[in-house]
Amino acid sequence: MVSVTAKLRYLRITPRKVRQVSDLIRGKTVEEAQTILRYTVKKAAQPLLKLLKSAVASAKNNFQLEELNLYISKILVDEGPKLKRWRARARGRADEIQKKTSH
């Protein structure tokens, strides 16, 4: 069986929030997953839907697979690099803010 891989890197949403959405579609068919992502009211749903469409297009174009036979066998969300920012505080101090990314 052929497996098609698609990657989304440096997504500016925390991994914990993206995992909440990815857990909804793991193991589902492509059609079910697209429906779930379209109606999920989370910021991470739209980038994951775009990634899913990219994977389906890749499967059709490169491997001549039909969309009806495709399903999501594995979906991983890992932590990407953190963007470090500083917030000014009282008495000349500063607190570090970490803006997290997902791979």
Closest listed residue to residue 77, CA positions, set 3, 20, 4: 20
Contact 100, 44 (CB under 8 A): no
Write phi, then psi, for 57 (nearest 5 degrees): -60, -40
Convert the pLDDT of each residue in 8-36 to its tens digit: 999 999 999 999 999 999 999 999 999 99
Q: Residue by residue, what is the 3-state secondary structure of the chain?
A: CCCCCCCCCCECCCHHHHHHHHHHHCCCEHHHHHHHHHCCCCCCHHHHHHHHHHHHHHHHHHHCCCHHHCECCCCCCCECCCEEEEEECHHHCEEEEEECCEC
Instruction: Please give the model's pTM, rounded to 2 decimal places.
Output: 0.91
* Average pLDDT value for the chain: 96
Convert the pLDDT of each residue in 33-71 to its tens digit: 999 999 999 999 999 999 999 999 999 999 999 999 999
Domain ranges of the chain: 15-76
Beta bridge partners of 96: 86
**For residues 12 and 76, what is the distance between their CA atoms, to the nearest angstrom?**
16
- For the domain spanning 15-76, the CATH number is 3.90.470.10
